[in-house]
Amino acid sequence: NYNIPVIDVPEGLKDLITDGYNFIKNNTEQHRCDILELNFMGQKVVCLSGEEGARLFYDSERFQRYGAVPMRVQKTLFGVNAVHTMDGQGHIHRKQLFLSLMRKKEKKVAQLVMKNWESRIDRWATSKNVVLFDEAKDVLCSAACQWAGIELPESEVKKRADELIAMVDALGGLGPRYYVGKLARIKTEKWLGGIIDDVRNGRLKPEENTALFKIAFFKELDGKELSSQMAAVELLNIIRPMVAISLLVTFTALAIHKHPEHKEKLLLDSSFREMFVQEVRRYYPFVPVLGARSRKGFTWKGCEFKEKMLVILDVYGINHDPRIWDDPDKFNPRRFEDFDSSLYNFIPQGGGDPTKTHRCPAEPITIEVLKNTLDFLANKITYDVPDQNLSYSLKRAPSLPQSGFIISNVKWR
Ligand code: HEM
């Protein structure tokens, strides 16, 4: 049993945001424990870390998602009442929709992304500087819409990509960032809601295997279709996270740049490229934490969980936990050569079995898109990396290298 430390968080969210990705990790390491209590402006919140903490967090007998995602995150990142906030049979049924859309689609999606990368080279060759993050979000937005069956003219790609990124960027933003993200969501849901209506009344005829078609005609367990607004929210839950991969693309480019010692392996060895991508997903900051609420009262390792108590899982901390990873603050793709993965010890996109929990259904797609993009950046083109500010903050979620990763003098290899 632990003596559970209690940490005062007098200013609530503001304190957490200021302390950033390391907030829970610093405290659990200091107290050598997997569990902390926060006195969150007078309210008790429990933080879980470590593999055992993750295993507990994904026990759906003990925890639910309903009421756990703050309204400010629903109004920006996920959408109100989206799949992320569902529980029980209703969740499993909705999750099947997403899993069926993604099953064995990773090669196809990665190819769409590659085509979009390749279509940009000629333009890059004539520009002085190219900001990789800006290009990545547009590339991924085009590819996501093509995959989902949404027609998006080239002239609108940047505008929509910026709106989708604004929703992601709102995550840890309190002032203007939050409002920009919220407004972007309102506009995008209206746009996609209109498209769903057009599909339902026959004005648009997307192919039947597309997300657009499947979501438009998806039926809940009660046999009813989703409202067009709810359908728009779930369609967005496909294209928004696709565009969010641009953050990891930018970190991938940073990792290639910072670790020239891996150059030869990246060129020759596709299994090394996979390890490299896994290490990018582990090492760089992306998802900071996840939240749930206890369904009922129980005690675990001496900690009393009361009914409906808010519980936070330290995703970033688990990615850097020295009990799971040797020398966790070192970027070392080789660690994945013999990594003994369980469902709870490597969870950059959530833990547990994706068919039963909220774990991201798109890990295979994310990995394949990043592997192909890594191959493209490391092996298909050459470029210079001019002087720029490549630092990124662990006190801002989501984080990104300051400059967005500028490249110049781009050529086919
Ligand atoms: C869920 C991360 C890419 C669709 C999640 C969760 C995380 C996550 C942390 C929640 C896990 C939980 O609550 O237990 C990421 C990261 C990505 C990524 C870091 C890479 C940048 C994608 C992509 C798609 C996607 C490309 C769609 C094509 C979803 C959906 C859910 C989800 C629909 C909700 C699942 C549920 O609630 O059951 N993702 N994701 N994600 N992700 Fe991803």
Ligand 1 centroid – CA 404 distance (Å): 23
pLDDT class of 2 with cuts at 50, 70, 90: low
Q: Does residue 313's CB lie within 6 angstroms of at least one atom of ligand 1?
A: no
pLDDT digits (tens, 9 = 90+) for 175-208: 899 999 999 999 999 999 999 999 999 999 999 9
Q: Which of 18-22, 149-153, 367-371, 404-408 has the lowest mean pLDDT?
A: 18-22
Q: Which ligand 1 atom sits nearest the alpha carbon of residue 86?
A: 37
**Token output for 40:** 């969150």
* N-terminal to C-terminal alpha carbon distance within the chain: 59
Q: Which ligand 1 atom sits nearest the alpha carbon of residue 94?
A: 38
**Token output for 353:** 């079995």
Which ipTM was obtained for this model? 0.97
User: What is the signed CA dihedral for 216, 221, 223, 227, rounded to 10 degrees?
Assistant: -40
pLDDT digits (tens, 9 = 90+) for 332-375: 999 999 999 999 999 999 999 999 999 999 999 999 999 999 99
CB 266 within 8 A of CB 379: yes
Say how far apart CA 255 and CA 382 lie, in whole Å.
16
pLDDT digits (tens, 9 = 90+) for 14-25: 777 777 899 999
* Cis ω for the linkage preceding 285 (within 30 of 0): no
Which residue owns the Cα nearest ligand 1 atom 5?
360
H-type alpha helices, 103-227: 106-118, 121-125, 132-148, 154-169, 176-200, 211-216
Q: Which ligand 1 atom sits nearest the alpha carbon of residue 354?
A: 38
Strand partners, 46: 37, 311
Q: Does residue 240's CB lie within 6 angstroms of at least one atom of ligand 1?
A: no
Domains and their CATH numbers in the chain: 6-412 (1.10.630.10)
